């Protein structure tokens, strides 16, 4: 489901543009309050030398510094914790993102956005059983959010081709269409579902 991950973050922090820099930056940062270390200040230019070129990542460092300061002042700042979780997800570090999501749940459990981020992290880590349990609960807890039903349908289509599983996937996709018709990813997933159903009816998933 990698190509669908972008749609899970609707309304979240737009940090994709800094992901490449953060992968290197976060891997070498010392752990602080939020897990992000402030960058060292550039050394002043020696007499007679030209000033160093402007740091192209200064804005990113400034954002991380600001998040650290805010989290140090209030370790239960849900908004900051969510931003940090999204940053780590964008940087390809889902295990560390889960740590921030756990802290959010301890302060304010059952937030929809936290559930989406947790689903992304679990899927990235290959923890399929936990992912399936989470999105199944989300279809009940957040029944009016199409993303919950889409995630369940995608999981069933990609990992479970038994007749009952495919029927559940179709029900989930029907629910997506009733909430938000015409989503391209849902249309594509329905095509995959129909192919899986045809294969199942033809005995393609049966042993022997």
Query: In the structure, how many helices (H) and strands (E) does the chain have?
Result: 9, 0
- 3-state SS class at 181: coil
User: Is 54 within the bounds of a domain?
Assistant: no
SS3 139: helix
- pLDDT for position 61: 78
Sequence-distant (6+) residues with CB within 8 A of 36 are 26, 29, 64, 67, 68, 84
Same domain, residue pair 21 and 93: yes
Residue 50 lies in a domain: no
Q: Which residues contact 84 (CB under 8 A, 6 or more apart)?
A: 34, 35, 36, 67, 71, 97, 100
Q: 177: which 2 tokens?
A: 């269409």
User: Are both 148 and 172 inside the same structural domain?
Assistant: yes
Domain match, 106 and 144 both:
no
Looking at 84, 104, 126, which one is the last position of a domain? 126
In a domain, 45, yes or no: no
DSSP code string of 110-136 = --HHHHHHHHHHHHHTT-HHHHHHHHH
Q: Identify whether residues 23 and 114 lie together within a single domain.
A: yes
Kindly state whether residue 28 falls inside one of the protein's structural domains. Answer: yes
Looking at the structure of the chain, the number of domains it has is 2
Rounded-to-integer distance, Cα 63 and Cα 41, Å:
15
**Residue 25 forms part of a structural domain:** yes
SS3 91: coil
Domain check: are 133 and 196 in the same one? yes
Same structural domain, 117 and 134: no
Residue 162 structure tokens: 């038994």
User: How far is the C-alpha of 208 from the C-alpha of 205, rounded, in Å?
Assistant: 9
In a domain, 166, yes or no: yes
Do 76 and 22 fall into the same domain? yes
- Domain boundary residue among 126, 143, 176? 126
Is there a domain that residue 2 lies in? no
Same-domain status, 32 and 86: yes
Q: Give me the helices (H) in 29-183, please.
A: 58-73, 78-90, 94-107, 112-124, 128-141, 146-159, 163-179
List of the chain residues with pLDDT < 50? 1-41, 206-208
What pTM value is reported for the model?
A: 0.70
> How high is the pLDDT of residue 57?
58
SS3 of residue 29 by DSSP: coil
Same domain, 22 and 108: yes
Residue-level pLDDT at 62: 82
Same structural domain for residues 192 and 147? yes
- Domain match, 29 and 102 both: yes
Query: In which domain, by residue range, is 179 found?
Result: 128-203
pLDDT for position 14? 31
Dihedral sign of CA atoms 167, 148, 2, 110 in order: negative
Q: Do 95 and 139 fall within a single domain?
A: no
């Amino acid at each position: 489901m990698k190509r669908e991950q972008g749609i899970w973050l609707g309304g979240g922090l737009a940090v994709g543009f800094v992901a490449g820099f953060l992968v290197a930056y976060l891997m070498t940062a010392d752990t602080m309050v939020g897990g992000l270390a402030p960058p060292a200040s550039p050394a002043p230019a020696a007499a007679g030398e030209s000033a160093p070129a402007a740091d192209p990542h200064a804005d990113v460092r400034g954002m991380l510094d600001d998040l650290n300061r805010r989290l140090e002042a209030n370790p239960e700042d849900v908004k900051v914790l969510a931003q940090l979780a999204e940053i780590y997800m964008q940087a390809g570090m889902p295990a560390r993102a889960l740590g921030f999501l756990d802290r959010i749940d301890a302060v304010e459990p059952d937030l929809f956005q936290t559930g989406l981020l947790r689903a992304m992290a679990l899927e990235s880590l290959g923890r399929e059983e936990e992912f399936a349990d989470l999105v199944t609960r989300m279809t009940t807890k957040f029944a009016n959010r199409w993303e919950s039903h889409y995630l369940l349908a995608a999981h069933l289509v990609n990992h479970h081709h038994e007749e009952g599983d495919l029927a559940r996937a179709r029900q989930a996709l029907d629910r997506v269409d009733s909430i938000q018709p015409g989503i391209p990813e849902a249309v594509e997933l329905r095509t995959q579902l129909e192919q899986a159903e045809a294969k199942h009816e033809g005995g393609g998933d049966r042993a022997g």
